[in-house]
Amino acid sequence: MAQILCSTGAIIGRPNGRNYYLLTDILPKLNCDGIEFMMYSTWYDDTHNLIPFLQSLNLNIPVVHCQKTIGELITQGGNANLAESFSLFEINCRLAQSIGASKLVFHLWNGKISDSCIENNLKAYKKLAQISNAYGIQLLIENVVCNRADPLIHWLELIKLYPNVRFVFDTKMAAFHNQLSLLYQPEYAFLHQNHIAHYHTNDYAGGYMDWANLKTLPIGKGNIDFRRFFGFIKETGYNETFTVESTAFNTNGEVNVEMLNTQFDYIRSMLK
């Protein structure tokens, strides 16, 4: 049976001080099946407290989202940046293993620098996969938005170089590049058959590469046809993990639990 997860990035952020201890009060109010834990750069020096805390919650945490800006170091290249990126990546893998996760979402390219030197990112994947495999974690490359080309082009490059590569498909990221409909096309069936191992279900209200509207929205607040999306997913037989990432905290850090629960319920209803 599919698991509907909530990203901790949806409920813990700068407005509430990235205080992960807030999860103790918030998570019991959510009717999800578990969480996708998102790592922040400010927590590296606190993993000796963070890991025991997460373990104490006795939660289902099948997925960890790797700290995002590691991909930017890889794009920049150079021995020092690569060494740092691999070191930070290993900390994320160790965290994932420690809390029982089996999947690690990774932004192989990220930020303003994005895919500007994609050859660095493609080359680094081999080492990243070796590290994650050593920890028993499945590495998943997300279809993160691009500046130079588009996510699908880079996915296809990865498949050519590393036939066993696995992906996480984000609906918002795909819609940003007008690539959501490609998922439904027969010529791309090999993606969901052999490579996509996780889904992020987020809405998007902008147009093609509309940077001003690149915001993670709740389902129903954008222009994505989720009825078609989930109908297609059901037909493929996929029944693993889906994550809701819609930002649920306001400028005061207060979390809109009802909004999140509405999304979890909707996804379940679509997958019945």
Superfamily for domain range 3-271: Divalent-metal-dependent TIM barrel enzymes (3.20.20.150)
Residue 1: its pLDDT value, please? Answer: 86
In the chain, what are the domain boundaries?
A: 3-271
pLDDT tens digits, one per residue of 88-107: 999 999 999 999 999 999 99
pLDDT tens digits, one per residue of 208-259: 999 999 999 999 999 999 999 999 999 999 999 999 999 999 999 999 999 9
Rounded Cα distance, 248 and 8, in Å: 10
In the structure, what pLDDT confidence band is assigned to residue 17 with cuts at 50, 70 and 90? very high
Rounded Cα distance, 98 and 112, in Å: 32
pLDDT tens digits, one per residue of 135-176: 999 999 999 999 999 999 999 999 999 999 999 999 999 999
Length of the chain: 272
CB distance 61 to 103 below 8 Å: no
Give whole-number Cα distances, 238 to 3, 7, 45, 241, 271, in Å. 11, 20, 38, 9, 10
Rounded Cα distance, 165 and 138, in Å: 9
pLDDT tens digits, one per residue of 35-91: 999 999 999 999 999 999 999 999 999 999 999 999 999 999 999 999 999 999 999
Residue 186: its pLDDT value, please? Answer: 98
Which string of b and e fits 207-236 if b means at least 16 CB within 10 Å?
eeeeeeeeebbbbeebebebeebbeebeee
Which string of b and e fits 102-129 if b means at least 16 CB within 10 Å?
ebbbbbbbbeebbbeebebbbebbeebb
Rounded Cα distance, 243 and 5, in Å: 5
Q: Among all chains, which residue has been given the structure tokens 């989720």?
A: 226
Residue 227: its pLDDT value, please? Answer: 98
